[in-house]
Structure formats: C-alpha cells, structure tokens
Structure 1
C-alpha cells in the first residue's frame, strides 16, 4: 500500500525510470518508487504528464488529482478494475435494499454530526448552541428523512464563523474547506474503487449528474476533522490567501493520525479501513461492524 502524496507544481516535469517516478524541480531530480506512491496532485497550466506515466500510475492503483487555475481540485483519475471481483461486487451493490441504505446513512450522518458537536465544543461555542446541536442529533430519523444534517450545518457554521455565514460565500475559510474536502474526496474515491465499489451509486446521495455519490456519503464523518485541522493550522495565521505552503499543509491532513478501534492509524489508511468496515456492515446487515470515526480520536493523536 502506497503512503506518499506527490504534489507537482507548475513547471515541474515527470518521467518514468524503471518502476520509479522521477520529478525534475528547479534543477533537482527526485526519484520515488511507484509502490510508495498513493496519490499525485497536479497543478499549473504548464504541467505535462504523458500517457505512459498515466498508464503506469493506473497499474499501481495511484490516483491523480488535477487542479484548475485557482488551484482547486477539478478532477480525479482512477485506474479501472482494481478489485479482483469487481463485477460481482458491482452486482451486489446495485441490489442494496433501500432500508439497508437508510440505516447506513443514519449511522454515517450521526458520526458526522457528533464530530461537528465535538469540534464546536472544543471551540468553546456557547452552551445553548451546543444543546441545540445535540437535540438535533437525537432527533435523527431513519435515513435522516427530516434533514437534521442540514439544520445542524447551519447552526454549526454560524457558530464557528458568525451569523449569516454560508458555504457559498467567497472567503478564506470556505476556500480552505473546499480544498480540504476535495482532498478527502479524492482519497475516499481511491479507497472505495480499490475495494470494488461503484462510486456513483450512493446510499443517500443520488444525483444523476454526480459520479461520486457514494464517496460523498462515506467522506462525511471526516469533514469535521478537516474543519478542526484547518483551524489548527492555516486559519491560525494572519495571511488570508491559500498559498502553496498552505495547500501542502492541507494535503498533509492525510498523513495525520487518528485512533480507531484503539489503534492509531494514518487518516488515509483510516479511510480505507472505514470503507472496508462499511462493506462488511452492508454484507452482514450489522452496522456494529462500521468503524467509528471520532473527533476525540483525532484530537488525541494530535497532542504532543
């Protein structure tokens, strides 16, 4: 399993040498064994990657994230047929029972909301708002039919960034969240596809124009962890621009540790294990198998 995320900036060039990815940067050559690479992130209009490199990256199950001219991730390249029984798993996924999908979404969204509450409490949000968030969490219906998630999001973000704040607002915190969430999305897509799941068939998200409905479902518990990480790293500084260094910091979220089932693992590995536990829960129809992704487990590992 790869563990390195390679960030290729504007003007850097890439080559293959045997089973190594060579990167030419400012007159220096860096060589990374392909088995060590998990993801490659490309940005800049002058960055060039060849078909030969893309083919080899796909063979090694390395995902490629392409960024636009505003440095925001715009696309994901994933290899085909990474799982040895992909057709069997795809057929199984298309036959998921609606009640089972509702139960899965209820468990996932509850984890997300509990992590939001954990971060809000950490930030010292006033007691009345915390009680409101907890009441909303307790009121979740099967499949979250009453959209408690949406109500929680409004209280949560208004508590963190002020009344009137929306996720559509053009501001630095939103730029950080957009970039950070895109990094989580790309990593979760890699994890899901590597285990034979079809990313477009979700348990809750069902947009016919979205190729990553399932990914948007499974990544939810990790979003509040990114919110905390953003506050602890890039938002604690005075500069209000998503610089190259800040983008590297957000990418490094995947290399942070979290405690899951009393075991400390890196976030990128926790995502793959979360997907694997999701599959086991869906197969057995027992959601006690679903891993708990907790805010406290992330904060504990971040302490020096």
Structure 2
C-alpha cells in the first residue's frame, strides 16, 4: 500500500477533528490520518495544535519540521513504539558483537550491489569494479570497501569532478533525500520497540540516530536514482517534493515489487530477527530497480 506524505508549504493552521487532519489557509482541507505516513511542515508560518501532535504520535505518524530555508531541521516521534520496548532496548544494548559484524558485512554488500544496479540502470561504467568490491567485503567492512565503492560510484554517476564535499545542488538534493529516508527508518525502528541511539556499526556519541544511519545504507541508492533523474533541474521546491515522495518509489524483494515505505518495514524486521536469532540468512535482499 502507498502512503501519503503530506507537505504544508504555506501559512496554515493545523488541527484535529474526528480522525482528520484539518488544514486551514485560504480554504479548508481534510485528510484522514489513516492515509498519512509523514507530515512535513515546510514553512515556519504554521501553527499546530497539541491535540493534533498527540494524535499523530499515537498513530506513529512522523512529523518533520523544516527551517526558514525549507531544509529539514528536526522531527517528532513517539517515546514508545512497542508494548515491550524496555525488554527490546535491554536486548539491543547486549547485541552480540560477532553477529553485528556479520550483519554490517551483509549491509555493505547489499549497498554496493544496489549502487551497481544504479550504474547499470543508467548505462554507466565501473559496474564490474563494484561487483569485485562486493566479493572483497569482510566482517565489519574492515578494508573499507564501502568507502572505495562510494568514490567510484559517485564519480561514475555524476562525473569525475563530483565529490560529496562540494557545495552544489546535487549534494543538497542528496542530503535532503537522505534526511527523508533516515526519518522513515527512525520511525520504523521506534515502531519495532528499539531506540535509534545504539547502532550496529555507527557509534558516534553525538549522533542520536546511529542505528538509523546503519539501516538506511542499502536504501541510499533509491535517493541517488531520484536525484540523478532530476539532476538538470534547480534544487527548488518542486525538486524537494520529488524527494519527499521517495517513499513511494518501488524496490524489489524476492522478485516482487514493493513501495519503499513497505520495504523498509519488512527489511528492518528481518534485520532485528537475524540479530536476535543469530541467523544472518534471515535478512532479506533489497534490490533497487
């Protein structure tokens, strides 16, 4: 099922009534909360009632606030996503390091495979080189095949002059899309009863989304695809809407197509099951198409 990402981009008052989001500006619009996956407040000229915020949190609908430059600035998500959150967090803190090493290896191999798929989709070079990197990935990616593949991949996709440190529309678009993706991943982590701070590989004490950063890796190429397809346009509001809608892109699981939002849910459940059962084969393969 495809879910709506609702974007509020003009001066409005948002309220709640009888299971509906009420948007009041020049006219009045009503959207049933059951249809909404994410609410993006893309302007600072919005007022929102506390009861609406509570209802959105109760239904696990992510709220993303943007700053005066229309860039994502923060998000709101519920404290608890599962009836046994305390138990799951205790388990998460004690995840076996050997299993985590194998999970990270699997994540990186899948990420590079999807990067290879993107290059193939757009008839780019270095597909063979990326496929070689896949075979070279070790536990914990100790030889940093991820870093090597990223350089080759982005140069193949956007040109040899491109790098991720440039101040450019492409990098701004990538960062914006990754933020939307990370938000969706964080939402699903909380829904499953875990916390975002304790990661599999990421361990930055200043990053409250370590686990989200881990689990979003294989989905990044979906954002890359959208950005590449729109690379000749300015990074404007229309471009941002395309990136906000990234959760309705299609991916492939076991030869069947799923919306990205649904694929994220299935994938995270499989990763958590693999860690808890110590069976890496439980992790499903996600293919970007």
TM-score w.r.t. length of structure 2 = 0.95
Structure 1's 257 and 44: CA in aligned 2 closer, same or farther, altered over 3 A? same
Q: In structure 2, what is the equivalent of residue 289 of structure 1?
A: 282
Question: Cα deviations across residues 9-56 of structure 1 (Å, max 9, x unaligned)?
Answer: 13122111122111124x221111222222111121212223222122
For 2:137, the equivalent position in structure 1 comes to 140
Match of 2:159 in 1: 162
User: Structure 2 vs 1, CA of residues 2 and 86 (structure 1 numbering), >3 Å: closer, same or farther?
Assistant: farther
Task: Write the distance in 1 (CA, Å) between the matches of 2:70 and 2:280.
Answer: 38
2:43–2:66 Cα contact (<8 Å) kept? yes
Distance 2:80 2:134 in 1: 39
> C-alpha displacement at 1:70, in angstroms?
2.2
Kindly indicate whether the alpha-carbon contact (under 8 Å) linking 1:2 and 1:38 is maintained by their aligned counterparts in 2. Answer: no
How far did 1:125 drift?
A: 2.3
What is the SS of the residue equivalent to 2:46? Answer: coil
Distance 1:125 1:36 in 2: 38
Match of 2:13 in 1: 13
Q: Do the aligned residues in 2 keep the contact of 1:281 with 1:289 (CA within 8 Å)?
A: yes
Q: Does 1:228 align with 2:225?
A: yes
Counterpart secondary structure, 1:65:
strand
Partner of 1:39: 38
1:255-298 Cα shifts (integer Å, max 9, x gaps): 12222123322110110111111111112111211111112xxx
Separation in structure 1 between the aligned mates of residue 169 and residue 281 of structure 2, nearest angstrom: 38
Secondary structure, aligned partner of 2:28: strand
In 1, the alpha carbon distance for the partners of 2:49 and 2:8 equals 14
Alpha-carbon distance, 1:118 to partner? 1.3
Between the two proteins, the alignment pairs up a number of residues equal to: 289
- Which 5+ residue runs of structure 2 have no aligned equivalent? none
Q: Map residues 108-119 of structure 1 onto 2, 5 A cutoff.
A: 108-119=107-118
- How far is 1:3 from its partner? 2.3
Q: Which residue of the partner structure matches residue 208 of structure 1?
A: 205
CA distance in 1, matches of 2:54, 2:28: 22
User: Could you say what secondary structure the match of 1:48 adopts?
Assistant: strand
For normalisation by structure 1, the TM-score amounts to 0.90
Matched-pair contact (CA < 8 Å) for 2:95–2:276:
no
Larger deviation, residues 83-92 vs 32-41? 32-41
For the residues of structure 2 that align with 1:136 and 1:262, how far apart are their CA atoms? 24
Q: Which runs of 4+ in 1 moved over 4 A?
A: none
| Cα distance in structure 1, aligned partners of 2:165 and 2:13 | 35
> What is the SS of the residue equivalent to 2:48?
coil
* Deviations 1:215-239 (CA, angstroms, capped at 9, x unpaired): 011011110122112223x22xx43
Report how far residue 80 of structure 1 moved: 1.4
Cα offset, 1:73, TM superposition = 1.2
- Which residue in the other structure is 1:302 paired with? none
Retained in 1: the 8 A contact 2:274–2:280? yes
Aligned position for 1:271? 264
Separation of aligned partners in 2, 1:4 and 1:121: 30
* Mapped pair 1:4 → 2:41: no
Cα distance in 2 between the residues matched to 1:190 and 1:263: 24
Alignment partner, residue 248 of structure 1: 241
Q: What's the CA shift for 1:245? A: 1.8
TM superposition shift of 1:2:
8.8
Q: Distance in 2 between matches of 1:155 and 1:239?
A: 24
The CA RMSD over aligned residues, in Å, is: 1.6
Q: Which moved more, 1:274-283 or 1:68-77?
A: 68-77
Q: 1:188 aligns with which of 185, 205, 227?
A: 185
The structure 2 residue matched to 1:217, chosen from 214, 217, 223, is 214
Query: Does the 8 Å CA contact 2:222/2:249 hold for their aligned counterparts?
Result: no
Cα distance in 1 for partners of 2:239, 2:95 equals 40
Task: Give the Cα–Cα distance (whole angstroms) in 2 for the partners of residues 14 and 227 of structure 1.
Answer: 33
